[in-house]
């Protein structure tokens, strides 16, 4: 696949990379566009935010079963969008563990809880606890810790390399991050409609049986990652040890829902 030709057909400007895990660690195998251009991450930020929270769980400063909300919602509920909070707002609209409701507020509350336990601000927890430690020197939170990161695609490659070969989290916790939390919950995948079930891990979406989906047919149910309204995504296949990332300046829309499945399928050929 000609990655450059594919990106040229998309609106706006974009950069993309294929990262694969080999004998010597994760390696960037193919690129297209300017990987040094800084773009908004939007909700792709949540992948890094969840790592920051889980790092504190690994350190013992907080626990996944910490009760954070008055309705009994725990840190784990918040990370997997099962705490009952709406997209934006602090008033629950469902009981914990009963529905998958995608929530920016939930991720923000999770990071705030972990940051308070660590004696840091939410932004510090992500910037210093994840971006700095992974060498993502040009990526920073500007606003919400759930959707405010800005940085270049070359930095995002470091994040997916971490997801492919974890160094910040112990193996058991990294596996728990990408496992389905509260299996069987229904919900809406933004841009792709209601999914039964709507699988989610801890801060990352798990593909599961979702149809339609933004990754292609060659990406298995174990695929996990995140996309954002700014028009970028990261997708990780832990079984094949391959990931695809892209960032751009064209907001998510019908073009992305149509282009991304075939793009992610074809990009696997660059391994």
pLDDT class for 268, splitting at 50, 70, 90?
confident
The total of other beta-carbon atoms located within 10 Å of residue 256's CB is: 23
pLDDT class for 25, splitting at 50, 70, 90?
confident
What is the per-residue pLDDT across 138-161, written as a single tens digit (0 to 9) for each? Answer: 999 999 999 999 999 999 999 999
What number of CA atoms fall less than 13 Å from residue 117's CA on the CB side? 22
CATH number of the CATH domain containing 25: 3.40.710.10
pTM here is: 0.96
**The domain containing residue 205 runs over which residues?**
3-270
Rounded to 5 degrees, φ, ψ at 138 are -105, 10
Q: Give which of 197, 201, 241 is closest to 220, Cα–Cα.
A: 241
Q: Which residue has the tokens 């895990």?
A: 21
Q: Could you give the CA distance from residue 248 to residue 89 in angstroms, rounded to a whole number? A: 28
Whole-number Cα distances in Å, 138 to 3, 39, 79: 24, 11, 25
**What total of structural domains would you count in the chain?**
1
Percent of the chain with pLDDT over 90: 93
What is the per-residue pLDDT across 175-233, written as a single tens digit (0 to 9) for each? Answer: 999 999 999 999 999 999 999 999 999 999 999 999 999 999 999 999 999 999 999 99
Please state, rounded to an integer, the average pLDDT across all residues of the chain: 96
C-alpha R_g of the chain = 17
CB-based burial of residue 194 (10 Å sphere; 0-12 exposed, 13-18 middle, 19+ buried)?
exposed
Which tokens go with 122?
A: 């939410």
């Amino acid at each position: 696949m000609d990655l450059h030709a594919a990106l040229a057909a998309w609106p706006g400007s974009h950069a993309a990379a294929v990262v694969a895990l080999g004998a010597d660690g994760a390696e960037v195998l193919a690129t297209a566009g300017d990987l040094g251009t800084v773009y908004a991450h939007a909700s792709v930020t949540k992948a890094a935010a969840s790592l920051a929270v889980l790092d504190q769980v690994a350190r013992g400063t907080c626990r996944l079963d910490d009760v954070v909300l008055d309705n009994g919602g725990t840190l784990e509920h918040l990370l997997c969008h099962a705490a009952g909070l709406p997209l934006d707002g602090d008033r629950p609209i469902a009981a914990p563990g009963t529905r998958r409701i995608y929530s920016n507020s939930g991720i923000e509350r999770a990071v705030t809880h972990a940051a308070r336990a660590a004696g840091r601000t939410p932004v510090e927890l992500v910037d210093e606890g994840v971006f700095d430690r992974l060498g993502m020197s040009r990526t920073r939170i500007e606003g919400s810790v759930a959707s405010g990161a800005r940085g270049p695609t070359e930095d995002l490659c470091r994040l997916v390399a971490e997801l492919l070969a974890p160094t910040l989290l112990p193996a058991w916790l990294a596996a728990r991050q990408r496992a389905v939390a509260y299996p069987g919950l229904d919900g809406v995948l933004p841009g792709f409609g209601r999914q039964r079930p709507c699988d989610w891990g801890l801060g990352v979406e798990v593909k599961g049986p979702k149809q339609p989906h933004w990754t292609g047919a060659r990406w298995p149910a174990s695929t996990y990652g995140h996309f954002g309204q700014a028009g970028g995504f990261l997708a990780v296949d832990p079984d094949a040890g391959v990931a695809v990332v892209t960032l751009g300046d064209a907001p998510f829309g019908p073009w992305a829902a149509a282009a991304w499945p075939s793009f992610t399928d074809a990009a696997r050929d660059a391994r």
